[in-house]
Chain A
Amino acid sequence: MIEPNRQGDVWVFAEHEDGNLSEVSLELCGKARELADRLGVSTAAVLPGRDLDGVTKPLISHGADKVYRVQDPRLEHYRTLPYARVMCRLIDKHKPQIVLYGATPLGRDLAPRVASEMRAGLTADCTDLDIGDYEDKGAGTKHSNLLLQIRPAFGGNIIATIVNHDRWPQMATVREGVMFLGEGDDKRTGEIVNETIVFEDVDEIVRVIERHREPRTVNLKGARAIVAGGAGVGSKDDFGLIHDLAGAIGGAVGASRAAVDAGLVGKEHQVGQTGTTVRPALYIACGISGAVQHRAGMEESAKIIAVNSDPEAPILSVAHYGIVGDLRTVIPMMIKSIKERA
Chain B
Amino acid sequence: MPYNCVVCVKQVPDTANVTVEAMKSDGTVNRAALPAVFNPEDLNALEAALRVRDTHGGTVTVVSMGPLGAAEVLRECLFRGADRCILLNDRRAAGSDTLATSYILSRAVKKLGACDFVFCGRQAIDGDTAQVGPQLAEKLGLPQVTYYERILDLTDRKVLIRRNMGDGWEVVETELPLLVTVLDTANKPRPPAARRVLRHKRAKAPGEVAREVQDAMPDATSQEREVEEASRIEKLKMQGLLIEQWGLDEVEADLAWCGISGSPTKVHRIQSIVLTKEGFTNVPPTQEGVRDLIHELIVDHTFG
A residues sitting closer than 8 Å to B (CB atoms) are 1, 80-81, 84, 105-106, 108-109, 111-113, 115-117, 119-125, 127-128, 134, 136, 138, 148-150, 152-167, 178-180, 202, 205-216, 224-225, 249-251, 281-282, 302-303, 305, 316, 319-326, 329-330, 333-334, 336-338, 340-341
Contacts and interface: CB of A to CB of B under 8 A. Distances in A.
A138 B28 CA distance: 14
B287 A282 contact: no
Is chain B's binding surface mostly helix, strand, loop or mixed? Answer: mixed
A334 B53 CA distance: 57
B172 A124 contact: no
Contact of A122 (B98, B285, B294): B98
Nearest to B152: A209
Chain B contact-residue range equals 35 or more
Interface stretch (B110-118, B159-167, B210-218, B232-240): B159-167
Nearest to B133: A112
Interface string B1-40: 0000000000001011010000100010100000000000
B175 to A, nearest CB: 6
Contacts of B15: 154-155, 157
A150 B266 contact: no
B174 A205 contact: yes
Contact of A323 (B138, B145, B289): B289
Given A113-B138, A116-B102, A163-B266, 12 more contacts: A113-B137, A115-B131, A116-B139, A121-B99, A122-B98, A128-B304, A158-B23, A162-B266, A213-B167, A302-B274, A319-B280, A322-B281
B264 A120 contact: yes
Given A321-B283, A324-B285, A125 B129 contact: yes
Contact of A109 (B29, B146, B169, B290): B146
B267 A162 contact: yes
B296 to A, nearest CB: 9
B303 A178 contact: yes
Interface in B76-118: 97-99, 102
Contacts of B274: 157-158, 302
A120 B132 CA distance: 13
B134 interface: yes
B143 A80 contact: yes
B174 A162 contact: no
Contacts of B277: 302-303, 320
A329 B303 CA distance: 22
B221 interface: no
Contacts of B173: 206-207, 209
A80 B285 contact: no
B285 A323 contact: yes
A165 B264 CA distance: 7
B130 interface: yes
Nearest to B290: A333
**3 tightest CB-CB pairs across the interface, nearest first?**
A325-B285, A155-B15, A121-B264
B55 interface: no
Nearest to B128: A125
Nearest to B272: A158
B200 to A, nearest CB: 30
Contacts of A336: 287
B168 A212 contact: yes
A123 B265 contact: yes
Residue with the greatest number of chain B CB neighbours at <10 A, chosen from A152, A155, A302: A155
B271 interface: yes
Contacts of A316: 280
Interface in B247-284: 260, 263-274, 276-277, 279-284
A282 B297 contact: yes
Given A113-B137, A162-B267, A302-B273, A154 B302 contact: no
B99 A122 contact: yes
Contacts of B295: 337, 341
A41 B260 CA distance: 30
Contacts of A214: 167-168
B266 A165 contact: yes
A251 B172 CA distance: 33
B127 A216 contact: no
Contacts of A249: 303
A302 B283 CA distance: 18
Given A116-B138, A124-B131, A337-B290, A134 B102 contact: no
Contacts of B132: 112
Nearest to B260: A138
Contacts of A208: 170-172
A209 B130 contact: no
Contacts of A116: 99, 102, 134-135, 138-139
A281 B173 CA distance: 39
A334 B290 contact: yes
Given A160-B27, A209-B172, A216 B290 contact: no
B274 to A, nearest CB: 5
B291 interface: yes
A179 B293 CA distance: 19
Contacts of A84: 138
A322 B282 contact: yes
B295 to A, nearest CB: 7
Nearest to B27: A160
A227 to B, nearest CB: 11
A164 B265 contact: yes
6 contacts: A113-B138, A157-B272, A158-B18, A160-B269, A206-B174, A329-B285
Contacts of B146: 80, 105, 108-109
Nearest to A281: B302
Contact of B281 (A81, A320, A340): A320
B294 A341 contact: yes
A212 B166 contact: no
Given A155-B125, A178-B303, A341-B294, A323 B283 contact: yes
